[in-house]
Amino acid sequence: MLYFISALSFCIITLFVFVLTVFIYIKMVIAVKNNKDVPGWIYKIGHAMKGRGRDYYEDITDASALKEVNLFLLGLTLAHIIVVAVMYFRGQSLPEAIYFCLKRELFMVVGIRMLWMICKTISLITGIARKTSEKNHEYASTNAVIGMVLMTAFSFMMAVFMTGLPAKPVEVSIAESQITIGSTKASELLKAGFSFYTKNADTEIVNRRDSYFQYGELVEITRDGKSYGIVSLTPEWGDKDKLKDCVITYYGISADSEQLGNIKINNTSISKLKYDDFKNRKLTDVFSITPGDYKESKNDFNFSLQLQTNSYMLWKRYTIKVNFNKDYKAVQYNVMAQQTIWE
């Protein structure tokens, strides 16, 4: 739970920095529109963001100052579009390309900032060479906005490296009943007519927190005397809870189960999948998934697709595993969700 709270706190701080950046920009737009100065605390931020060396920034807010900010933001937007387009045409899916871009947010902002400084230096030199009387200003208001964009990019990039981005949950269909791994509660299966072997809705489930892969208690699910596999029932926030209030964090079924034909993972009927599907195709294509962040692991007999590969302190990690025997016949199908609040 401590890791979850720490990650959530950092993301809240990142959100606060972003909101403050937007607020400063809006205050600047309003000030220019009304031909007024921005509040003094914004100028102070601009001076504080000067870096090393002498402070050349002036407490001026005018149309030229706003124009510099808008040009910087335009350049940053174009840089994002170009990077995403390049990665997309190099073979990545659109979510992958966007995720690649977000993980390098700070470097892109710094790059555009350096390019902007070079352009301003060239403009200054050109003005001196032409002996123009127009004075070049270094605006504290402009520097405040650009500096806050830099801070936002740094915070956001750190948040992405720390927690990743939320992945789309894996869904399992059991005889037409939908389970979202890591979210659906046992009560939903009870309503659909399923039973949990040797247990009832009010049975106390204990999470002993002795595993990083399966939380709570493993229980067989049945309906009309037929077994539909094994689920892990996990108290959502504490160590103990009633069965009906527990979250399903794992689902597994043997490949020789008579009910395999009634099971789908992300709307893919697993009974129709062959060894060659896993060996020769991308697992994201097998299960019709287009994630931004994933990892595929393959060997002769074991195949794994992991969604959300960063630490799962805040966002859940989802994993689909399929095992084969030496005769290349499926043995077991597993789907699980991981999060530190359950460990």
- Establish how many alpha carbons lie within 13 A of residue 279's alpha carbon, considering only the half-sphere containing its beta carbon: 9
Number of alpha helices (DSSP H) and beta strands (DSSP E) in the chain: 9, 14
Pairing of strands 204-206, 195-196: unpaired
Compute CA 73 distance to the chain's CA centroid, rounded to the nearest angstrom.
24
Within 10 angstroms of residue 324's Cβ, the number of other Cβ atoms is 19
| Cα three-residue angle 197-200-201, rounded to 5 degrees | 130
- Taking the C-alpha atoms of residue 310 and residue 69, their distance in angstroms, rounded to an integer, is 34
- The DSSP bridge pattern shows strands 247-254 and 268-269 to be unpaired
**From CA 131, how far away is CA 125, in angstroms rounded?**
10
Cα 76 to Cα 85: distance, rounded to the nearest angstrom: 14
Q: What is the pLDDT of residue 104?
A: 87
Tokens of 302: 């074991």
User: What is the model's pLDDT at position 187?
Assistant: 93
Tokens of 237: 């926030």
Could you report the average pLDDT of every consecutive run of 10 residues in the chain (343 residues)?
Answer: 81 93 94 91 87 76 90 91 91 87 87 81 65 67 91 90 88 92 93 91 88 86 92 91 93 92 92 92 91 90 92 90 92 93 87
Element (H, E) at 46: helix 40-48
Q: Which two tokens stand for residue 114?
A: 């350096």
Whole-number pLDDT of residue 128? 57
Whether pTM exceeds 0.85: no
Residue found by looking up tokens 């030199």 in the block: 125
Tokens of 21: 């950046």
Q: How much is the pLDDT for 322?
A: 94
The whole-number pLDDT of residue 164 equals 84
Token pair belonging to 319: 């994993």
How far apart are the C-alpha atoms of 99 and 308, rounded to whole Å? 11
Confidence at residue 129, expressed as pLDDT on a 0 to 100 scale: 60
